[in-house]
Chains A and B, each alone.
Chain A
C-alpha cells in the first residue's frame, strides 16, 4: 500500500483570477499524484504488460485477428435508419418528425443532430413502454399524433419507426388512418409513414424510406398533363448546409427553376433573431407535391436514394440523373449535363470560378501530390472525396465504408483502377474504424479524412485528420461551408492542404533539432 497522499490544494490557489478547468487542473502535481495513488485500488495491469499489449495491437498479427471478426463491430461508421428519416423530413415546410416506438431513440437522434449543427432539432416520440410492447402501439400513436398536432401545429407529421415498433409489428399505415378516422388529427394533415427498422441498412436507408413516403403522400393525385418546367434536386444525406445554398446559387446563375427535395439548410442554420422559430424547412409542401410534374430529378447520392429514384423513374415516369458535383471533374460533368438538359449555357461566373479553383489547386498541388490517404464514410460521400483526391494526385489507400454495398464498390473500384493514383487503394466494405486502426498501423498513410470519431485514430496513429463528414462534434461551423461545386472544391482543398502544412509545422518545431525545416514560406 502506498500511503494516502493527503492531497493538497493545487498550485493555482491564491492566484486571483486564475481558474483552472479540466485542461490544466488534472495536469497539476496534486492530481497526477492522486491518479497514481488511486491506481493501486484499480486492479490495474502491470504498465509493462500494457505497453507490450499496446504495441501488439499495432502488428500484422493483430490485424489478422481483427479482420477475423464476424460478430463484433467496434467503432462503426454508420448510424441507424431513423436518424436519416428525421434529417430529410426536417427540410419540408412546417414538418414535425415523429418517431414511433420507444422514446429514448428520439432523444438520441435530437442530441446527435444538435451536437453536429449547434442548432435546435425538434422531434417527438410515441413514448411506448412495456404495455405497448404487449398490446401494440396504437394508443400511443393516437395520443402522440393528437398531442403533437395540438401543441406544435405542424403542417405535416413525418412518421418513422424504431426497432421496437418494427419487432412487434405495428401496422403504422392503418394506425394513422384510425387516428384520422377518430378525428384526433385532421383528415387532410399529411402524415407520411415509413418503416425504418434499425436492423436493416443504416441512416442513409432511413433517409430514402422517409423521402419515398413523403413524396408519395404529397404527390398523391397531383400528376398533371404537362410538366411544370422545373427540375428537382436531391442532395441525399449531405451534412453540409453550405451545399444546398451553393446548389441554389448555381441554379440561380443558370436561371433554372427548381425544387430542392429536401431543403433543410435553414433547419440546421437558422438566424438568431431573439425569437425561436420551430419550423425552418424550406421545401414547401406545395412544391414537393408538384415535384411529380418536374422535367426531371437530379440525385447526388445514388446509393442513399435508390428507392426514391425508382419511385420517380418508374411511378412518376420522370427522367432521373445521377451526378456527383464534387471536385473539378465531377462539377464539370454536372454543369455540362445541366446545360445540355436545360438548354442553358454554363454561366460565365461559374466558368471564372472554375478557373480560380483550378488555379488554387495548382498553387498547392505539390504539397498533396503522392500523399497516401485513408478515408471513411457513407458510400457517395467517400466516392466524391476519392474522385477529388485522384484529380489532385493524392493516393487513396484505405477506403472504409461500414454501410457499403456491392454496386457501389464495383463502381468505385473502376474509378480507382482507371487512375494512376488509385492503384494502391482497397475498398473495405462493411468494415469499421477498429479495422481501419489496424490498417493504419500496418500500412501507414499520410492523411486521414473522416468525421470527429477519426480523432481517436489521429491520437493513436498520429496521422493528421481532415474533418469532412458527419458528425463533426469537435470543430465548429464546418457544416456551414460548401463541399460541392468549384467553391466546395476550394474549401475542401483548403482544409486538406492546410492540415498538411499545420502538421509539417508540428513536426518541425523543436529548436536545434527539427526546426531546420520550420519554414516561413511554404
Chain B
C-alpha cells in the first residue's frame, strides 16, 4: 500500500471507535492529502461533537484572550462570573512594554465577579458603577473593553447602552464585546466579533480619538502589522525586519499595541497580516472602507521570511525592494550557520502539528528549513479558506485532522510515531507520557520569539532540545527489555 492508502486505512480504523452519529460527523473532518490536491478535503468550522474531548475554547477566549487582550493600555473586563477571567489571566504571553497597573494592564485580571443577584436582577447597574471605579483607580487607562461571558447574553443585559453612556460621559472609548462562550463553535467567532467591534465602535471615531506623533505626516511606506500577538515577543523581530527594509510601522494590532495604534490604522498604506484567521475581517473592512490593501506574510523560517519580504517589497518601490534584498543577504550567513548546525541533528525527523488558526500551515516551512517533515497537521478552529491555503504547504500523504479529538490525536500518534508533536498545553503531557518529544506551539513553551530571523534561531534550538533531549533515553529502565 502507498502511504496515502495506509494512512487512509488508519483514519478509518480510528473512526471505528465512535458511535454511528459521531463517526459520521467526525469522518468529514479527517483526511489524507493526495498528490496535487488543491484542498485538504476536510470540513471545518462546524460544531464540535459533544463528549469527544475537543481542544477548542470559546468566543470569549478568542475576543478577550486573542484579539483585544493584548491591547496593552486598555482595561479588558471579563464581564460575568469570576472563572473566565481567572483562567485566562496572564495565560498567553503577549509581551508588552509598560508599567503594569499604571499605564498598561496586560497581566491583570479585571472582572465583575457576578453573583447570583446579578444573574437575577441583571448586571447593568453593577457595570455602570464598575466603569466609574475603573476611571477612578486607573486614570491613565486609554479605554475599556467589556468582554461578556455566557450568562450576560442569556439574562438580557444591555451592555451596549451602558458602554455608550459611559463613553459619552467620559470621552473615553468603552467597547462592548458580545463574545459569550456559547456563540459560534470555537474561539474563531470571538475573533470575528472582536474585529467587528473595532469596525463599529472604534474606527468610526478614529479621527477624534487619534493622537498623532509630533510632526507626523502620512508617508508612502506606512504599514500596520495586523494579527501578530507578540507571543514571547514575536512582533518585535517582525517589526524590526519591516523597518529595516524601509517601511514605517505605525500600528501593531494587537501584540504590544495600544488603543492609539488601533486608531492609527486607517492612515496606513497597507495592512500586513500574519494571523489571517483572527484578523482578516478587519483587513477586509479596511480595504472596502479606506481602500487599504492587505497582504498575508509568513515570518517563520528563513525561506518564508525571504519570500515574504520580497512579496511585501514588491508592493512598494525599488528602494524598498533593494533594501529587502540587502536585509535578506545580511542574514544569509547567520541562517546558513544555524541550519548547518541543527539540520544534522534534525534531518528527516517527522512532525505532527495541531494548533489554532495559522500555525498548522505557517510553521511547516520552518520545519522544512531544518530538514524536518510534517506528516500530520490540523487546526483547532480553522475555516475552509485556511485549509485551502494549507494545501499549498503540505505534501502527499499528510494526515489532516480538523478539530481533532483527544482520542483521534492519541491514536494517530501511536500509529504514525512522529519524532515530535507540536500542539498545545492540554496535549503536551499526554504525549510526553508516551515518551514522544513535544513542543507547545501556542506559547512557544515559554520560549520565543519564533518570528523573524532571530526567532528562527530560537525555534531551531528548541526543536533540537525537544527531540534530542537525553531524558527520553531514561524512560525505559535498564532492567526492562
Contact = CB atoms under 8 A, between A and B. Distances in A.
Interface in B13-33: 17-19, 21-22
B47 A104 contact: no
Contacts of B54: 103, 107, 125, 127
A272 B137 contact: no
Interface in B49-108: 49-61, 73, 80-84, 86-91, 95, 97, 99-103, 107-108
Contacts of B100: 456
Given A43-B260, A57-B101, A76 B407 contact: no
B18 A277 contact: no
Contact of A111 (B134, B150, B333, B425): B425
B4 interface: no
A49 B119 CA distance: 40
Interface residues of B, number: 133
Given A13-B334, A73-B113, A76-B86, A147 B140 contact: no
A506 interface: no
A12 to B, nearest CB: 8
Contacts of A456: 100, 107-108
A274 B431 CA distance: 9
Given A31-B240, A102-B58, A148-B51, A167 B134 contact: no
Contact of B52 (A31, A130, A148): A148
Interface centre among B18, B19, B118 (most CB of A within 10 A): B19
A279 interface: no
B51 A41 contact: no
A14 interface: yes
Contact of B84 (A26, A70, A108, A132): A108
A8 B327 CA distance: 9
A355 interface: no
A101 B137 CA distance: 35
Interface in A319-342: none
A71 B168 CA distance: 20
Given A1-B213, A126-B51, A151-B405, A199 B426 contact: no
Interface in A420-435: 434
A141 B49 CA distance: 11
B308 interface: no
Interface stretch (B182-190, B193-201, B270-278, B359-367): B182-190
Contacts of A118: 429
Contacts of B349: none
A127 B49 contact: yes
B448 interface: yes
Given A79-B86, A124-B52, A272-B475, A70 B433 contact: no
Contacts of B240: 7, 30-31, 34
A437 B458 CA distance: 36
Interface centre among B112, B137, B215, B216 (most CB of A within 10 A): B137
A163 B88 contact: no
Contacts of B310: none
A362 interface: no
A109 B410 CA distance: 20
B417 interface: no
B19 A80 contact: no
Interface stretch (B37-45, B243-251, B288-296, B393-401): B243-251
A128 B183 CA distance: 9
A114 B406 CA distance: 15
Contacts of A514: none
B181 A164 contact: yes
Interface string B145-180: 000011101110000000000000000000000000
B243 A34 contact: yes
Contacts of A344: none
B82 A72 contact: no
A147 B330 CA distance: 55
A227 B61 CA distance: 50
Q: How many interface residues does chain A have, given as a range?
A: 35 or more
B51 A114 contact: no
Contacts of B51: 98, 124-127, 143-149, 151
Interface centre among A26, A102, A143 (most CB of B within 10 A): A102
Contacts of B215: 1
B58 A275 contact: no
Nearest to A140: B50
Given A125-B50, A144-B51, A50 B454 contact: no
A150 B18 contact: yes
Nearest to B458: A21
A53 B153 CA distance: 36
Contacts of A57: 101-102
B426 A114 contact: yes
B116 interface: yes
A25 B448 CA distance: 10
Contacts of A128: 50, 182
B434 A275 contact: yes
A26 B116 contact: no
B133 A274 contact: no
A82 B140 contact: no
A83 interface: yes
Nearest to B95: A22
Contacts of A140: 50
B182 A7 contact: no
A135 interface: no
A102 B181 contact: yes
B150 A22 contact: no
A460 B338 CA distance: 39
A272 B57 contact: no
A78 B115 contact: no
A405 interface: no
B307 interface: no
B259 interface: yes
Contacts of B109: 74-76
Interface in A24-54: 25-26, 30-31, 34-35, 37-38, 40-45, 49-50, 53-54
Interface of B: 17-19, 21-22, 47-61, 73, 80-84, 86-91, 95, 97, 99-103, 107-116, 118-119, 126-127, 129-130, 133-134, 136-137, 139-140, 142, 149-151, 153-155, 181-185, 187, 210-211, 213-217, 232-233, 236-237, 239-240, 243-244, 246, 248-252, 256, 258-261, 264, 330-331, 333-334, 337-338, 341, 405-407, 410, 425-426, 428-435, 447-449, 453-454, 457-458, 460-461, 475-476
Interface of A: 1, 4-10, 13-14, 16-17, 19-22, 25-26, 30-31, 34-35, 37-38, 40-45, 49-50, 53-54, 57, 62, 65-66, 68-76, 78-83, 98, 101-105, 107-112, 114-115, 118-130, 132-133, 140-141, 143-152, 162-164, 167-168, 197-200, 202, 270, 272-277, 434, 437, 453, 456, 460
20 contacts: A16-B341, A26-B95, A35-B97, A41-B261, A69-B133, A75-B108, A80-B86, A101-B150, A104-B60, A107-B56, A125-B50, A147-B19, A151-B51, A151-B52, A152-B53, A199-B118, A200-B116, A274-B433, A274-B475, A456-B108
Given A9-B330, A72-B110, A130-B182, 13 more contacts: A13-B331, A31-B236, A31-B240, A37-B243, A72-B137, A76-B111, A104-B60, A109-B87, A129-B185, A148-B51, A163-B81, A198-B114, A275-B434
| 10 nearest A-B pairs in the assembled complex, by CB-CB distance | A104-B58, A43-B260, A80-B83, A144-B51, A144-B50, A108-B87, A198-B81, A148-B51, A147-B51, A71-B130
